[in-house]
Structure 1
Amino acid sequence: MIIDTHCHIYTSEMENADEIIKEAAKKDICLILNGTDPLSNKEILKLSSQYENVYAALGYFHSFADKITDEDISLLDNQLSNDKVIAVGEIGLDYYHTKDNKDKQKELFEKMLNLAQKHALPAIVHSRKSIQDTFNILKKHDVVGSMHCYQGSAEMAQEFIKIGFYIGIGGPITHKNNKKTRNMVKKVDISHMLVETDSPYLTPEEKRGEKNTPLNLKYIISKIAQELDMKEDNVIEITTHNARKLFKI
């Protein structure tokens, strides 16, 4: 089994979501579908009830920080009790797209982490151009989880690992100009890594120009194996063990 710990395979993102999920099942790939808003969370719960290889991570993304209401928070609180929900995500901070609502983003992030604590669930965290604020907020909460598509330094990765977070490795590791991530991977023990695709985004170099799918995990695994001078089967075995341990799958 391989576990894609972060993807967005649902109808509002991909019209052929059911087809992709079935193809992944044939390859023995489990999917953790990450929600970003009330609509995607609803879609993910439905898919997780239909497919054995689908698990749900539900949350509200930074881009909805100005829109999420108390009613939405209560809805999510109830949804997190579903047996197929294994994490709160995708949540976090992003100052790349907008810096105008930093306080709102932080407020929403805190609310999401409070729910993760309440339900004893790990968090799947997005952080772009906001690494220090993300770390400072996570330190205040008794929550473990995954740093989704981590693009920071090896030194900062070690700080996240110390507070119980795994480092998510996705398609960018294969991009020709992304030496930073490849160098970081060499300095972080694989016992703290997860593999993910962020489908339909962040397509690996080998499939550039196409929508990403969980089937492209093989390129990410191959690149990690190459950088660490390991066999691909060992990368799969260890990262799958890590995902099972974190998400209790």
Structure 2
Amino acid sequence: MIIDTHCHIYASEMENAEEIIMEAADNDIHMVLNGTDPSSNREVLELSDKYDNVHAALGYFYTLADEITDEEIELLDMQLGSDNVVAVGEIGLDYYHTKDNRDKQIELFENMLVLAEKHDLPVIVHSRKAMQDTFDILKEHDVVGSMHSYQGSAEMAQQFIRLGFYIGVGGTITHKNNKKARRMLENTDINHMLLETDSPYLSPQEKMGEMNTPLNIRYVSRKIAEELDMEESDVIEITAENAKALFNI
């Protein structure tokens, strides 16, 4: 089994989502689908009910920080009680696109972490140009999880690991100019890594210009194996066990 711990394979992102899910199942690929808003959360729940290789992560993304309502928070709270939900995500902070609503982003992130604590679920965290704030907030909460598409330093990765987080490694590790990510990889124990694709985004180098899918997860596992001088089969097995342990799959 290969586990793609972060992707967005549902109709609002692509026309052939269910076809991709079935093809992934044929290749023994399980996936954690991440919702980001009420609509995609609903889609994720429906797909997780329909397909055995789909596991649901529900959350509200930073893009909703200025408009989220109490009713939507209550809806998510109710949905997180569903049997197929394995995580709260995708959630987090992003100062790359805007810092003007930093306080609102932090407020929404905090609300998501409180729900994770309430439901005893791990979190899947997006952090872009906001690594220190992300770390400072996470350490004040009783949560574990995944640092999705991790973009920080090798040193900061160790701090997240000490909090109980895994490092999500995706297609960007294959990009030729991404020396920082490969440096992090070389200094991080495989027992603290997860495979992910972020489909339909962040295609690996070999598929640049094409829509990404969970079927491309093997480019990620192959690159990790190459960089760490490991057998690819061992990378797949260890990261799958990591994902099973974190998400109770």
Find the residue that maps to 1:181 and give its secondary structure: helix
Q: Could you say which residue in structure 1 is the equivalent of 2:185?
A: 185
TM-score relative to the length of structure 2: 1.00
Q: Could you say which residue in structure 2 is the equivalent of 1:230?
A: 230
Q: Could you say which residue in structure 1 is the equivalent of 2:53?
A: 53
Q: Could you say which residue in structure 1 is the equivalent of 2:19?
A: 19
Q: State the Cα distance separating 1:93 from its structure 2 match.
A: 0.1
Q: Could you say which residue in structure 1 is the equivalent of 2:211?
A: 211
| Cα deviation 1:158-217 (Å, max 9, x = unaligned) | 000000000000000000000110111000000000000000000000000000000000
| Counterpart residue identity of residue 186, structure 1 | E
Q: Using the alignment, how far apart are the partners of 2:140 and 2:184 within structure 1?
A: 26
Q: State the Cα distance separating 1:138 from its structure 2 match.
A: 0.2
Find the residue that maps to 1:15 and give its secondary structure: coil
Find the residue that maps to 1:73 and give its secondary structure: helix
Q: Using the alignment, how far apart are the partners of 1:61 and 1:131 within structure 2?
A: 16
1:80 aligned to 2:74? no
Q: Could you say which residue in structure 2 is the equivalent of 1:2?
A: 2
Alignment of 1:99-178 (within 5 A): 99-178=99-178
Q: Using the alignment, how far apart are the partners of 1:151 and 1:238 within structure 2?
A: 22
Q: Using the alignment, how far apart are the partners of 1:115 and 1:159 within structure 2?
A: 23
| Counterpart residue identity of residue 147, structure 1 | M
Q: Using the alignment, how far apart are the partners of 2:190 and 2:55 within structure 1?
A: 23
Q: Using the alignment, how far apart are the partners of 1:7 and 1:15 within structure 2?
A: 15
1:195 aligned to 2:175? no
Q: Using the alignment, how far apart are the partners of 1:31 and 1:184 within structure 2?
A: 24
Find the residue that maps to 1:236 and give its secondary structure: helix
In structure 1, the gaps of 5 or more residues are none
Q: State the Cα distance separating 1:104 from its structure 2 match.
A: 0.2
Q: Using the alignment, how far apart are the partners of 2:195 and 2:73 within structure 1?
A: 29
Find the residue that maps to 1:143 and give its secondary structure: coil
Identity, in percent, stands at: 72
Q: Using the alignment, how far apart are the partners of 1:121 and 1:106 within structure 2?
A: 19
Q: Could you say which residue in structure 2 is the equivalent of 1:41?
A: 41
Q: Cα RMSD (Å) of the superposition? A: 0.3
Q: Using the alignment, how far apart are the partners of 2:78 and 2:186 within structure 1?
A: 41
| Cα deviation 1:96-121 (Å, max 9, x = unaligned) | 00111000000000000000000000
TM-score relative to the length of structure 1: 1.00
Q: Using the alignment, how far apart are the partners of 1:136 and 1:73 within structure 2?
A: 23
Q: Could you say which residue in structure 2 is the equivalent of 1:30?
A: 30
Q: State the Cα distance separating 1:145 from its structure 2 match.
A: 0.1
In structure 2, the gaps of 5 or more residues are none
| Cα deviation 1:101-159 (Å, max 9, x = unaligned) | 00000000000000000000000000000000000000000000000000110000000
Q: State the Cα distance separating 1:86 from its structure 2 match.
A: 0.2
> Which 4+ runs in 1 deviate beyond 6 A?
none
Q: Using the alignment, how far apart are the partners of 1:31 and 1:158 within structure 2?
A: 25
Q: State the Cα distance separating 1:67 from its structure 2 match.
A: 1.2
Q: State the Cα distance separating 1:87 from its structure 2 match.
A: 0.1
